[in-house]
Amino acid sequence: MSKYQFVFVFILIVLVSNTFAANETLVEYCTYCNNATTECSGETKCNSYVPGQCTEYQNPCNGKILGGTVMSQEGSRYYALFYEDVNCSTGALIRLNYTCNACYVDDGAYFPCPPSEAQILLVSLPVLLLILFNIFIIAFCILFVIDLGDSTITVKKTLLYVNYESGRLDDRIPNLESTNSNASDAAYIVSPGRNGMYAIGHKVTLGDPGYYSDGSYRSESATHRIRPGGRFVRGDNRRYEVSLLLKDWQEWKPGMSSSGDIIFQGGKLAGGGNPAYFIATKRNSLIFRMPNNNETLLLLDDFRPYSNQWFDFRIDVAWRDSPTGLYIIYMRIPSIEKDYKLIKEYKNYHTYLPDNPKSVMGYSKWGLYRPGQSLENGDIPTRIIYHDDICIFDIDI
């Protein structure tokens, strides 16, 4: 439901309740329209008056203005003062103290009784129901509108789901690469996983060639050979979900390299150069970085209190090669949070921004990549990380 419909419903409620309230407070005064003004017979015509207010008094039968009047009501008794002038400024000529519905022969007129409470209820029941219905609609709208932030994005299709429950490094997914490093424990299966039995562990020891591949100390799984599920191109919309655990992670101390460990490259861009986005540890915090936009987002100031606990991430991306893209970044610490927490939304953002303009596609990597770190710098020699439940969805934004 649009905001216009919401406003329309709101105005309708105000109108209905105002009309209803206004009708309730008016005093009705009726006159028999026969030639003898002192007879209670024939057709009647009525006018309504705002109680306690000087009003022009008009004969409802012939429209003739007769002066001014002030009318009021107390239960079933009605009072009226009639004045010669329409402004009620001269002394009152006639004072009425009438019981409702009783016609007084002197005037050939009466005040209809106010509706009984049962009648009011009966008359107003549809109105009450309408108001209740409208309140319900409004509540629904508010819930729906509040939900919009989350639910305008819908998952169309699961492109890739890696949960390692096969107990294998490729989880029986054709062309899923587990690592390019040679050490037998550069990648290995660990148990338990984030939700199930198994997860994948990646290990990198600085200075050991067994953990060196593609020009760096790294051990990473990659989806670039999985077509089409592991890839994205300009114009695609993707949701990335990943859980990871920093295994017995030794804390960073001042003096060590502060380049950080890259632990999830959801938006690796083919053609070389920087990924569009990655998640990394930096000193003792977790960050989300888009290097070519020169933007760093702090995800968690200090992860040390969550030693050996899982972290869940969800990243929605509209991949655009112009400032029309989108990043929405969520995080959850399952040991203390039930739901994902929105960290930040980057709207109208240039997301597909490769170093190589000929880059035709992107893909995802998870594991451990330790750029700029070395034993000479005094960096922690061995680090281990677990990953599980990697999901890539095609989404509607």
Min CB(324)–ligand NAG separation in Å = 50
Distance, in Å, from the CA atom of 50 to the CA atom of 76, rounded to the nearest integer, reads 17
Which stretch, 34-42, 181-189, 318-326, 348-356, contacts ligand NAG (CB under 6 A)? 34-42
The burial class, CB within 10 Å (0-12 / 13-18 / 19+), for 4 is: exposed
Min CB(17)–ligand NAG separation in Å = 9
Q: Does 104 bind ligand NAG (CB under 6 A)?
A: no
Concatenating the DSSP letter of every residue in 207-266 gives T-GGGEETTEEEEEEE-TTSTTTTEE-TT-EEEEEEEEEEETPPPP-BTB--S-EEEEEE
Pinpoint the alpha helices (H) of the chain: 3-25, 117-151
Tokens, residue 126: 């549809």
Q: Does 20 bind ligand NAG (CB under 6 A)?
A: yes
Contact 307, 297 (CB under 8 A): no
Q: State the pairing for strand pair 278-282/261-269.
A: antiparallel
Min CB(38)–ligand NAG separation in Å = 14
Q: Does 161 bind ligand NAG (CB under 6 A)?
A: no
Contact 374, 206 (CB under 8 A): yes
Contact 164, 189 (CB under 8 A): yes
Contact 264, 277 (CB under 8 A): no
Of the two residues 88 and 353, which places its CB atom closer to ligand NAG in the complex? 88
Instruction: Tell me which of 23, 37, 134, 216 binds ligand NAG, using CB under 6 A.
Output: 23
Instruction: Tell me which of 3, 21, 35, 255 binds ligand NAG, using CB under 6 A.
Output: 35
The burial class, CB within 10 Å (0-12 / 13-18 / 19+), for 295 is: middle
Q: Does 53 bind ligand NAG (CB under 6 A)?
A: no
Tokens, residue 378: 């005094």
Q: Does 39 bind ligand NAG (CB under 6 A)?
A: no
Of the two residues 47 and 359, which places its CB atom closer to ligand NAG in the complex? 47
Q: Does 72 bind ligand NAG (CB under 6 A)?
A: no
Of the two residues 20 and 188, which places its CB atom closer to ligand NAG in the complex? 20
Which of these, 332, 369, 324, 388, lies nearest to 351 by C-alpha position?
A: 324
Binding mask 127-146 for ligand NAG (x = CB under 6 A): x-------------------
**Number of shown-chain residues binding ligand NAG (CB under 6 A):** 13
Q: Does 250 bind ligand NAG (CB under 6 A)?
A: no
Which of these, 316, 364, 305, lies nearest to 343 by C-alpha position?
A: 316
Min CB(137)–ligand NAG separation in Å = 19
Min CB(102)–ligand NAG separation in Å = 11
Contact 225, 177 (CB under 8 A): yes
Which stretch, 51-59, 85-93, 253-261, 363-371, contacts ligand NAG (CB under 6 A)? 85-93
Q: Does 158 bind ligand NAG (CB under 6 A)?
A: no
User: Which residues form the interface with ligand NAG (CB under 6 A)?
Assistant: 19-20, 23, 34-35, 42, 48, 77, 85-87, 97, 127
